[in-house]
Amino acid sequence: MTTIEPAHAGKVVIVDSSEVVRRILTDHIRSDGYQVIAFESGERFLEWFGSEPCDALLLDSRMPGLSGLKILQRVRARLDRTEFPILFVTAESESHHVVAALTQGANDFLIKPIDFDVLSARLGVQVALKRSQEQLRESMAAQRKIRAQLEASAQSALTELNLAAELQRRIYQPTEPPPFLRMSSYFRPSSHVSGDILYGRPTPDGSFLCFLGDATGHGVAAALITMLVIALLETVERTTTSPKQILQRLNQQLAHFELNGRFVSSIAIRISPAGVLTAANAGHPAGILLRNSPAASRLIESSGSPLGWFENMDYGEIELQIAPGDQVLLITDGFSEWTDRNGVQFGHDRVLHLAQAIHQQKPDGLLEQLLAAVTAHSQGTVPQDDITLVALGYNP
């Protein structure tokens, strides 16, 4: 074996039984800047093969012992054309060897006597192709690694989101109302977590307080604000049962948090055992009081800006006497703004008219028919915002 000092262009192996041919090829290939390793037989080459990286092989077709085709077959059993290019060298009269070599895995061929300009060109092409394939494999391996990391990160984030969604769902389950009220609710986040808030609790005087809110936007940022609102609601003294006072307290506290333009629309209602309904609305879609009698339904409309905008906001409060069979319907705007394929919203007026038409339904049936109507209207579109509905029926 003869070894020439390495250069920068790459490493080329010559297998040829003729010492003269090996020397001539070595000198020429070396002049092109390659390191050269030459073997006088296929057996010696195969003993060495795999011990060092190399960029190309010049393989003579006819040699004592193992022929060029046999060596080609053994090399190809381990490395393909892109991993290790082989230039098959044969005499012009042996063209059938070229066909056999190309069929069995040779990248190119050279005809004896060798044209050295052709040799340089073909060798350069094969080495360049090998290098580009190596770079491509490295790039693909790097991409696979990055993709695996991204998938792992995404899976971790998804797991955390699913956990957050489950925790949020449990936290948002309002306390069961007292026996004089029937309550039904529907909650559908537009993503894993929601910017809608549904909160309910009994009061010391036996009444029931229900709070529905909607933080701007949806997703994680909105969900964090809703968790803050829930925490603040829990800090409000249990003796504070006035919807107006609750909204004012929340508004003052949220204004101090500097929510960067975000806010929370909300509506709070309290229903006493005697059927006294007290309500306050802070920039939220109007609540609907559905009368069981011929009297017209009543809207509980906003009397101030959403929570968190202006610190010193004085919200109005209404007080109404409700009768057995009356119901209060509260929604977030994700429901009324659900669009069809043409971008037409379901609309709050349609909610009002439909609710009035089916007001004798129990709370479960009321929500069921409202959801069926908006689903038919949507024509299969996906809501772009969180949706919450709650119906409270007075049944003393």
CATH of residue 339: 3.60.40.10
Cβ atoms within 10 Å, residue 333: 18
* CA 56 – CA 359 distance, rounded (Å): 84
The reported pLDDT for the residue numbered 191 is: 78
**Phi and psi (nearest 5°) for 76?**
-70, -20
- Going by C-alpha positions, the residue among 339, 335, 340 that lies closest to residue 354 is 335
Residue with tokens 């055992």: 273
| Distance in angstroms (rounded) separating the CA atoms of residues 80 and 82 | 6
Helix and strand numbers (H, E) in the chain are 10, 16
Give the pLDDT score at 1: 47
Q: Are residue 228 and residue 318 in the same domain, yes or no? A: yes
Q: How far apart are CA 158 and CA 237, in angstroms?
A: 37
Is 287 inside a domain boundary? Answer: yes
Residue 118 has what pLDDT? 94
Q: How many domains does the chain have?
A: 2
Q: What CATH number is attached to the domain comprising 129?
A: 3.40.50.2300
Is residue 151 one of the residues assigned to a domain?
Answer: no
Distances (CA, A) of 111 to 15, 66, 87: 15, 20, 10
Cis, bond preceding 396 (omega within 30 deg of 0)? no
**Residues spanned by the domain of 108:** 2-138
User: Are 303 and 358 found together in one domain?
Assistant: yes
Predicted TM-score (pTM) of the model is 0.64
- 53-102: per-residue pLDDT in tens? 899 999 998 889 899 999 999 999 999 999 999 999 988 667 787 888 99
Cβ–Cβ under 8 Å, residues 314 and 176: no
Q: What is the pLDDT of residue 295?
A: 66
368: left (phi over 0), alpha (psi -120 to 50) or beta: alpha
Residue where one domain finishes, among candidates 121, 138, 155: 138
pLDDT at 4: 41
Three-state secondary structure of 45-75: HHHHCCCCCCCEEEEECCCCCCCHHHHHHHH
Residue 93's pLDDT is: 66
Closest CA to 208 of 241, 186, 231, 237: 241
Which residues of the chain register pLDDT less than 70? 1-8, 92-93, 157-158, 160-161, 163-165, 167-173, 294-295
The answer to whether residue 26 is domain-embedded is yes
